[in-house]
Amino acid sequence: IPIRLADYRPADHLIDRVALDISLDAHATRVTATLNLRPNPAGQRGADLVLDGEDLTLLSIERDGVALAPDAYTVTDTSLTLRQPPAEPFTLTIRTQIDPTANTRLMGLYRSNGVYCTQCEADGFRRITYFLDRPDCLAVYTTRIEADRGEAPVLLGNGNPVEAGEAGPGRHYAVWHDPHPKPAYLFALVGGRLDRLGGAFTTRDGRAVELGIYVEPGKAERAAYALDAVIRSMAWDEKAFGRIYDLDVFNVVAVSDFNMGAMENKGLNIFNDRYVLASPETATDADYAAIEAIIAHEYFHNWSGNRVTCRDWFQLCLKEGLTVFRDQEFSSDMRSRAVHRIGEVRTLRARQFPEDAGPLAHPVRPQQYAEINNFYTATVYEKGAEIVRMLRTLLGAETFARGMDRYFADCDGTAATVEDFLAAFAAVSGRDLAAFARWYDRPGTPVVTVAGEHDAATGTYTLHLRQELPPGPARKESAGETDAAPALVIPVALGLVGPQGVLRDAVSDRVRDGVFVLERTTDTVTFRNVPVAPVVSLFRGFSAPVRVATEATEADRLILLAQDTDPFNRWQAAQDLAMAHLVAGSRPESQRPNPDGFVTALGRFLDGEALSDPAFAALVLTVPSESDIAHALGDTIDPDAIHQARDDLRQSIGTGLFARLTRLRDDLSDPAGTPFSPDAASAGRRALRNVALDLIAAADPQEGTARAERQLAAATTMTDRLAALSVLALIPGPAREAALTAFAERYADEPLVLDKWFAIQATIPEDETLDRVRRLQSHPAFAMTNPNRVRSLVGSFSAANPTQFNRADGAGYDFLAETVLALDPTNPQIAARLLTGFGSWRMLEPGRQAKAAQSLAAIGARPTLSRDVSDIVGRMRNSG
Ligand code: ARG
Ligand code: ZN
């Protein structure tokens, strides 16, 4: 039975204060919760009190100090109901027992490598005690944690530490108090043997904040980059958003078993250790960038999420979309803005566009859900961030900043909605944002079709624009809202370009600060002072999350690549040029166009500026992914044909530019003894060097093998080592197997590095790979209980190996179905996540589609599926 946004009602009771006393034990943790309750004036008078609870053993329950009679309450698998609770404020004292060792779902209180930790978002707190486990129930928490001192010398909670001491033989305790009212999903505790890397930050308003990063014993050194990122995040949020930290301590704990990336618990962020631990020996440049971004993301939640939280889970994008936008801005300021923007869009297109085009399409603010944990999606996060970005584009940076201040001021301490967010911007701008708000409710990626005509006589250039939602599941879901759907408000950043450069004299009354706002289904923009036919540069900086359809020719795109001032669109032009070849090459009936013109243009580009911005050049040289090509094709996908077309184009580029690429590698090599630095400029040099290696190997596998082996032997960074290993992995033979074996031996004690090793093998595009993956499942370093291991091996196979996952015989689908079913009883969240690997199955050619349907049916036939998996499999099969 789905939960609907339209059915939202305030809770009938409020909990003002919570005192928790938690005595940690591996199998029998005791929780005493003292709740100060009262009827909610906004709720229904006289209603029963229904508390959520799951996998709890109730030991006792008292009201105002008196044990409740058994007939005063009812306990089910999911609730505790108190009949006719008092109309006055009252206190409930509930004692429960839980088994953290048996908690394989990693929701609620569990143990990871012997460390007690928690994950409560979205609805895990009910697995710790009976509670009103909903985000609009804000309470002030005091937590006493007790544990065996040997087993858990470190005891951490939300807020500030209050006291600590002895608690009987061998045991000790700590009390934490969080003065800021919060929903239960932000509760956290940690108990374990952990090392601490400490630091300090003084806020703009003079508060001395103690910082701590807690990691597995012996790994404190590897927390240095994360600590530095915390300090930079705190300083940046003060400067960029005026947000100041509000507690005396800020702690981050790294755990090795974690369902997601990280969690923003108040004052006590808990992280998947892969987003904390980094050393030059073990982490790639991409790892460093991800650590910086996720540390920032969770820290920024302290305001966008914690101080202002969500009224209900339909509003998830209110905190996630906004916080992704904020962390993207942070990373852009820390690194290269243009390069980062391209990365953001690559992620959006790789993850969100397919989701929006497939059976799991949903609005950024869903109207209903069966299982909320299935809605922590690219749509809610990444498209949600794009909506915030469009708002800034439409209002201008200055008005946007005032709107943010207004939002934080008006909504501080509340559980808010998307409407509250937009109201703040409407108030400071005087603008009506009702039409803009449609972005939150409309699933699917809009297509904007643009055609231009030049009139030499009048020196004008006219653009005709048209927006529509393409047919597909998304359009079906916005039932009735199809062709006649009211238009979205789409900011189109644009400019005109000629063979000699940007046409600065071309102007239009309808373009302000380089942006035209498309607010109707069709519209027309006319530029003056355009003596010769120009090329239009559309959606500069990717100003809206849409697909663009134009009649641009190869010649037009070559002009944009060479002359546009917008780096994003220069990169986009290179992608479009490549895509034209890839799409044609993927269709058996179509003729392969000659790539020489494109390759020549890339060569000219490299000669001109490869060394001035290597990170950008690396992106320009990177051919669109197989998944991008599949989505450009749209239907009747043959993954083998796509793979072949992509290989062919890489080979053409590698061959055409061979001499340049080898020279580039020499020019970019680091002089011996260069110390490692993870900064963006150094990372950019490594990126370009390694793209060049990949193209060299595509052109000449023998030369590629030799160079990769040399690089592997000499590498001083994980980035270079892994890039070399990835190149070798594509070339069958003894060199590959020897390199893989040596790598595994070298990193036998480094689970996070072995994850990379699993992933590389899972993505080899050869028929033997499925057998290899099955074999690796019994490798001693692999564990089905660890989400990182499962994602690396099985997730990489299904999400990043299109030819092998989509084997024509269906064996890849069977394998994924098997794994999902094996995992579902112990960790349904991860099982459901893996299952989204089938997300684009409707696009496949009929033979593969039939095989995928069989595997999905096999999953659906299991009678005891979790809600997580049955929700996904149901949506997946009902579409189409
Ligand atoms: N709020 C976390 C973040 O994005 C994600 C937690 C999601 N957890 C879950 N079980 N759905 O920062
Ligand atoms: Zn988040």
pLDDT digits (tens, 9 = 90+) for 327-381: 999 999 999 999 999 999 999 999 999 999 999 999 999 999 999 999 999 999 9
Ligand nearest to the CA of 376: 1
Q: Where are the beta strands (DSSP E) in 267-352?
A: 268-272, 309-310
CA 252 / ligand 2 centre spacing (Å): 15
Structure tokens at 649: 């184009």
Q: What is the pLDDT of residue 314?
A: 98
Q: What is the pLDDT of residue 475?
A: 65
Q: What is the pLDDT of residue 588?
A: 78
Residues 574 and 620: their CA atoms lie apart, in Å, by 6
As for ligand 1, residues whose beta carbon falls within 6 Å of it are 121-122, 259-260, 262-264, 297-298, 320, 373, 376
On the 0-12 / 13-18 / 19+ scale of CB atoms within 10 A, 702 is exposed
Q: What is the pLDDT of residue 485?
A: 82
Atom of ligand 1 lying closest to residue 259 CA: 10
Chain centre distance of CA 244: 25
Q: What is the pLDDT of residue 42?
A: 98
Residues 344 and 542: their CA atoms lie apart, in Å, by 10
The CA-atom distances, in angstroms, between 72 and each of 56, 129, 352, 767 are: 19, 19, 49, 64
Q: Are 340 and 331 in contact (CB under 8 A)?
A: yes
**Which residue out of 127, 133, 260, 382 has the highest number of ligand 1 atoms within 8 Å of its CB and is therefore the one to mutate?**
260
Any idea of the CA torsion for 508, 511, 515, 520, to the nearest 10 degrees?
A: -110
CA 348 / ligand 1 centre spacing (Å): 18
Does the global pTM surpass 0.90?
yes
Residues 235 and 505: their CA atoms lie apart, in Å, by 41
Q: Which of 54, 146, 298, 626 is catalytic?
A: 298
Residue owning the nearest CA to atom 12 of ligand 1: 263
Angle between helices 811-823 and 846-861 (to 10 degrees): 20
Residue owning the nearest CA to atom 2 of ligand 1: 263
Structure tokens at 379: 């749509």
CA 311 / ligand 1 centre spacing (Å): 16
Atom of ligand 1 lying closest to residue 320 CA: 4
Q: What is the pLDDT of residue 880?
A: 53
Task: Identify the bridge partners of residue 208 per DSSP, sorted by sequence position.
Answer: 202
Run of H or E residues at 438: helix 438-441
Residue 205, number of CB atoms within 10 A of its CB: 9
The one-letter amino acid code at 62 reads E
The one-letter amino acid code at 119 reads Q
Atom of ligand 1 lying closest to residue 298 CA: 12
Chain centre distance of CA 291: 13
Residues 192 and 265: their CA atoms lie apart, in Å, by 18
Residues 364 and 444: their CA atoms lie apart, in Å, by 10
CA 636 / ligand 1 centre spacing (Å): 35
Q: What is the pLDDT of residue 470?
A: 84
Q: Which segments of the chain have a pLDDT < 70? A: 473-484, 880
Q: Which of 234, 236, 183, 242 is CA-nearest to residue 406?
A: 242
Task: State yes or no: ipTM above 0.95.
Answer: yes
Q: pLDDT of 643-692, one tens digit each? A: 999 999 999 999 999 999 999 999 999 998 999 999 999 999 999 999 99
Atom of ligand 1 lying closest to residue 297 CA: 12
Q: What is the pLDDT of residue 198?
A: 99
Atom of ligand 1 lying closest to residue 381 CA: 4
Task: Please say if 298 is a catalytic residue.
Answer: yes
Q: Are 58 and 94 in contact (CB under 8 A)?
A: yes
Ligand nearest to the CA of 264: 1
Residue owning the nearest CA to atom 8 of ligand 1: 121
CA 352 / ligand 2 centre spacing (Å): 16
Ligand nearest to the CA of 122: 1
Q: What is the pLDDT of residue 13?
A: 98
- Residue 102 phi, psi dihedral angles, 5° rounding: -85, -5
Q: What is the pLDDT of residue 237?
A: 99
Q: What is the pLDDT of residue 84?
A: 95
Residue owning the nearest CA to atom 11 of ligand 1: 373
Residues 409 and 196: their CA atoms lie apart, in Å, by 35
CA 520 / ligand 2 centre spacing (Å): 33
Residue 250, number of CB atoms within 10 A of its CB: 23
Q: pLDDT of 810-840, one tens digit each? A: 999 999 999 999 999 999 999 999 999 999 9
Chain centre distance of CA 216: 25
Structure tokens at 572: 């986009």
Q: pLDDT of 41-88, one tens digit each? A: 999 999 999 999 999 999 999 999 999 999 999 999 999 999 999 999
**Which residue out of 376, 866, 867 has the highest number of ligand 1 atoms within 8 Å of its CB and is therefore the one to mutate?**
376
